[in-house]
Amino acid sequence: MTNILNYLTWRGDLPFSSRHPFNSVDDLILARFSYLPFRKIKLARRETIATVAQKMCSLPASDFCLPNDQALIKCLADSARFRNLKVFYFIDHHDSSTERQFTAIAIRLSIRQIYASFMGTDSTITGWKEDLNFSFMENTPAQLDGVKYIHRLAWRYPLSNLRLGGHSKGGNLAIYAALENPQSIQRRILSVSNYDGPGFNEKIIQGRHDWRMLKRVTSFITQGSVFGRLLHHPERQVVVHSNGKGIWQHDIYTWEVDGDHFVSTQSTRRSNIIDAATTKWISRASMSERRLMTDCIYRLVSSASPDQTIDITSSAATWLKKAPAMVATFAKLPASERKVFNDLLKRFAKAYYETLKSSYASSSLKLQNHKNHKNH
C-alpha cells in the first residue's frame, strides 16, 4: 500500500506548477502539518518547512503525536515541492477551564495563495471534551478561535487567496471558520478540506443560506469511518480506502494514495449502520441530555487518567485497568444523572438494534427481488 510518505518520495521532486498543481494529497499533507511539535521549537519570523525540519530533527520521538509524523517532516524537508514553502502565523491556545484546545499554522503556497492548517484533537482530555461539546453547543471556543484566525489572516494578507484544511476536529474548525466569516473573505477561499472530522449539530445547519461556500467544501472519510460521520454533514463527501482496521482508519498514514489522488471506495455496511444508529440516537436526545452525557463521560475518563491525557486507540486491556476508577466515579454521581446516563445508553442500544434490523431487512428484500428477477 502507498500512502502520503510514498507520495513525497515519488513525487516530491515536482514543484507546484500548472502541470503539477496543488491536489488533495498535498492538501492532506498540509492538514497534518499543524500536528507537528511546533510548541517544542522557537519559530523565527522567517521560516520555511526546511528550516522547521532542521529544528525538529533533534526532538525525541515522544514529542511527535505519531511515529510517522517524524518521518513526515523529514520527507517534507527533502521534497522540492514543499521544503521552500514559508511557514508563519503559528497560534496555540490551550485552556482546560474553558475547555479550549486550538492550534493553527499558515503555509504560503505561492505569492497569491496561503494554506491555513488546523490541528485536530490532541491527547488531552480537554481536547476530547471539546469534541463531544459539538453535539449540543452552537459553537465552541476552538471554533470561535478558528473564525478569528482566518479573519486576521485575510486582513493581514489582503492580496492572497486562502485554502483551509484540517484533520479530525481540525476539519470541523476549517469548515466553521469558512462559513462564519463575512462574504468578503469567503470569496477569497478557494477550498476547504475536512479529513475525517465530525460535522455539526442541527442548530448550526438549520437555516443556513451560504450554500455557495459549501460548494467549495469537501470532507474525506474512510470506508469504515466513525469520527468523520458523526453529526450532520451538509457538504460533499469522498470515501477514501484505508488499510487500517476499525478506528485506526482515522490515522491518515493508513490512507491509500495512487499517483496524485486517493484510492476511492465505498463506505462499509458496518460504518453505515453505526452512522445511522448514532444519528438517530443523537436526534432523539435533547440538548440538555447531550450536555449531561458529555459531562458524565468527561468525569469518568478524567478519574481514570491522572495525567489528563487519553489515547482512544489504547488496547482493551488498558481500558479494563481504568474500569475500577471509572465505576467508582460513576457510583458517586447524583442518582438523577446516573438515571439519565443509563437511559441514554439504553436508547442507543435500541437505535442500533432498530438500524441493524432495518439494514438486514433491506438486504433480504434486495436479495429476494434479485432472485425473482433471475427466475423471470
What three-state secondary structure class fits 275? helix
Query: Are 176 and 264 part of one and the same domain?
Result: yes
Q: Tell me if 197 sits within 8 A of 120, measured CB to CB.
A: yes
Residue 75 pLDDT class (50, 70, 90 cuts) = very high
Tens of pLDDT, residues 96-141: 777 788 999 999 999 999 999 999 976 566 656 677 788 888 889 9
Query: Are 341 and 229 part of one and the same domain?
Result: no
Which residues span the domain enclosing 124?
A: 4-275
Query: Are 265 and 317 part of one and the same domain?
Result: no
- Report the alpha-carbon distance of residue 267 to residue 138 in Å, rounded: 29
CATH number of the domain bearing residue 184: 3.40.50
Residue 376 pLDDT class (50, 70, 90 cuts) = low
Farthest CA pair distance, the chain: 74
pLDDT value at residue 137? 84
State pTM to two decimals.
0.89
**CA geometry: angle 26, 243, 124, nearest 5 deg:** 70
Query: Are 222 and 164 part of one and the same domain?
Result: yes
Query: Are 52 and 152 part of one and the same domain?
Result: yes
Comparison of pLDDT for 139 and 374, the residue scoring more: 139
Is 280 within a domain?
no
Domains: count for the chain: 2
Tens of pLDDT, residues 232-270: 898 999 999 999 998 899 999 999 999 999 999 999 999
Query: Are 264 and 323 part of one and the same domain?
Result: no
Query: Are 147 and 293 part of one and the same domain?
Result: no
pLDDT value at residue 373? 60
Domain boundary among 275, 306, 327: 275
Query: Are 141 and 257 part of one and the same domain?
Result: yes
Query: Are 261 and 335 part of one and the same domain?
Result: no
Query: Are 289 and 269 part of one and the same domain?
Result: no
Give every CB contact of residue 354 below 8 A, 6+ residues apart in sequence. Answer: 277, 280
Domain boundary among 250, 275, 300: 275
Query: Are 293 and 176 part of one and the same domain?
Result: no
Percent share of the chain, pLDDT over 70: 89
Tens of pLDDT, residues 50-60: 999 999 999 99
Query: Are 128 and 172 part of one and the same domain?
Result: yes
H helical segments located in 12-62: 24-33, 49-56
Is residue 339 pLDDT above 80, yes or no? Answer: yes
Domain boundary among 275, 295, 320: 275
Is 161 within a domain?
yes
Is 170 within a domain?
yes
Tens of pLDDT, residues 171-225: 999 999 999 999 999 999 999 999 999 998 877 777 665 678 889 999 999 999 9
Cell of 198: 465530525
Instruction: Give the least confident one: 1-10, 115-124, 155-164.
Output: 115-124
Residue 95 pLDDT class (50, 70, 90 cuts) = confident
pLDDT value at residue 122? 66
Is residue 322 pLDDT above 90, yes or no? Answer: no
Is residue 318 pLDDT above 90, yes or no? Answer: no
